[in-house]
Structure 1
Amino acid sequence: MRRALLLYSILFPLSFVPPLIPASFWEHVLIVFTAYLLVPAVISTALGFRPEELGLKLPNRNGLKLFALLFVLSVPLSIYGTTVPSMRSYYPVFPYSGVVGFVLGELGMGIIMLAHEAFYRGFLLFPLARKNVWLAIFLQNVPYTIVHRGKPAIEVPYAFIAGIIFAKMDLEGESFVPSFLLHWLGSALFDVLCVVVTP
């Protein structure tokens, strides 16, 4: 438990670094990848954690089933989200011109989502969850919710709820991959819907 708390204490401040650095979209991709994935990987390795102890492995069947179910259930929410003007005008967050630019932007978002989920649902969640599941879920969800400030207001409560659901799904799946897939593919679907419905 001491190692887990030490890792959490070291990584917690990193949660707030990427949002504070002014950057272009692709610069932001690099910053997030570095702060949320590369640096935590080095620190956790130095503390003696193995990848599987951090949820950094392929998911089991339960995780994949939960991902598929929640993705289907998220479709109506995504459709509803396009009726919220602040959401429709905010997304996609990347600049693009044409189909190729849009696809590249979504690949960039995939890198961001990979780093995000590895950080919150991997490095911050799994080590603590070995001793206390709900404490771990709460502690990873606090910074995750806070970093959504500044986005459309509806995203803050949504992030709080999603953070709990994502964490439970990943713990069931013994991997951060289900929440990565759900977050990325759900985000990509919403971006497509926003582009389609925007005049």
Structure 2
Amino acid sequence: MFSYKFLSVRLRWMTFHTLAKMLSEEFRKIDEFKGTEYSSKFSKDEKAICVFVLSAVLLTLMNFVVLSGKYQSLVADWICLCVGSMEDGRLKDFLGAIAPLYRLFAWSLGCFAVYFLIPALTIAFVFREPLRNYGLSPRGFVKHLKIYVLLYIPVAIAVALVSFTPQFQETYPFYHDPSGLLDFVLWEALYCLQFFALEFFFRGFFIHALKWKLGYMAIFAMVVPYCMIHFHKPFLEALGAIVAGIVLGLLSLRTNTIWGGVVIHCAVAITMDVASLVQRGVF
């Protein structure tokens, strides 16, 4: 019995060691393929320090400002005042009808500013580099489209299975009770804008700025804060963020584009929302 257990443990360790070695070799290949030449006026150390500090500040702003009810209420109230001062007409009626979206608009706009606008301005005016070096070029996306489709299929199946649970239906969509199809489409547009900004921050700005200093370890440095922003989500989704972060980070480094991650994120998010609404009988 002892020999059998020892052999079983030994085999598991050898399998894990072999897998780790294969992954390590694959990551080293990625290190050899940076995709672009280093062109910043900052040293690699200086850029890494700047990115780490700025990222910490931006994530703090996200948590204490953008996600705060006070900020969202202020923006929503301001929009209400603007709409109220408009002349009567179809536009005013339409904007009044989507008033429940105002707070979510504030959230999406805040995410766009923190995750995209500030990092993009930093790249352009501080690092003085083109944004395409940080994953915004679509080149490479179509070539690897099959990979993204293969990644989406199992996630979509998992979403379909989980959509039956009460916790899932209580969580999604964030815009809990859309009044109609147009309402729902507007919400998904705001949702996808946020995902674009999110992908740019984690898989564009963070990874492509740090790859020159950390190599493939930039992926794992990114995964820690990426997982942490999911702590308020369901447990399995937070765990899944670790795997998703590694895979999407790997693809971003390998393809030099974030658009695959953007498309997957948006497709999965829309699938989750639709699945939840179908289970609740809204659709």
TM-score normalised by structure 2 residue count: 0.66
Segments of structure 2 that go 5 or more residues without pairing to the other structure are: 1-43, 73-102
Map 1:47-86 → 2, pairs under 5 A? 47-60=127-140, 61-86=142-167
The 2-side partners of 1:81 and 1:182 are apart by 18
The 1-side partners of 2:54 and 2:139 are apart by 26
The 2-side partners of 1:66 and 1:127 are apart by 24
Q: Of 67, 70, 90, which residue of structure 1 is paired with 2:171?
A: 90
**Contact 2:45–2:213 (CA under 8 A) maintained in structure 1:** no
Map 1:42-191 → 2, pairs under 5 A? 42-45=121-124, 46-60=126-140, 61-95=142-176, 96-191=178-273
Greater Rg over alpha carbons, structure: 2
Between 64-73 and 118-127, report the one with greater CA deviation. Answer: 64-73
Cross-structure match for 1:4 = 47
Cross-structure match for 1:26 = 105
Give the drift of 1:91: 0.3
Segments of structure 1 that go 5 or more residues without pairing to the other structure are: none
Matched residue count:
199
The 1-side partners of 2:143 and 2:154 are apart by 16
Q: 2:117 corresponds to which letter in structure 1?
A: L
Higher RCO (CA-CA < 8 Å; seq separation 6+):
1
- Say if 1:134 and 1:57 are closer, same or farther in 2 by CA, change over 3 A: same
The 2-side partners of 1:84 and 1:159 are apart by 19
The 2-side partners of 1:175 and 1:36 are apart by 16
Percent identical: 25
The 2-side partners of 1:29 and 1:115 are apart by 9
**Contact 2:115–2:197 (CA under 8 A) maintained in structure 1:** yes
Write the deviation string for residues 71-99 of structure 1: whole angstroms up to 9, x where unpaired.
12321111122133212210000252111
For the aligned residues, what is the CA RMSD? 1.7
Cross-structure match for 1:15 = 59
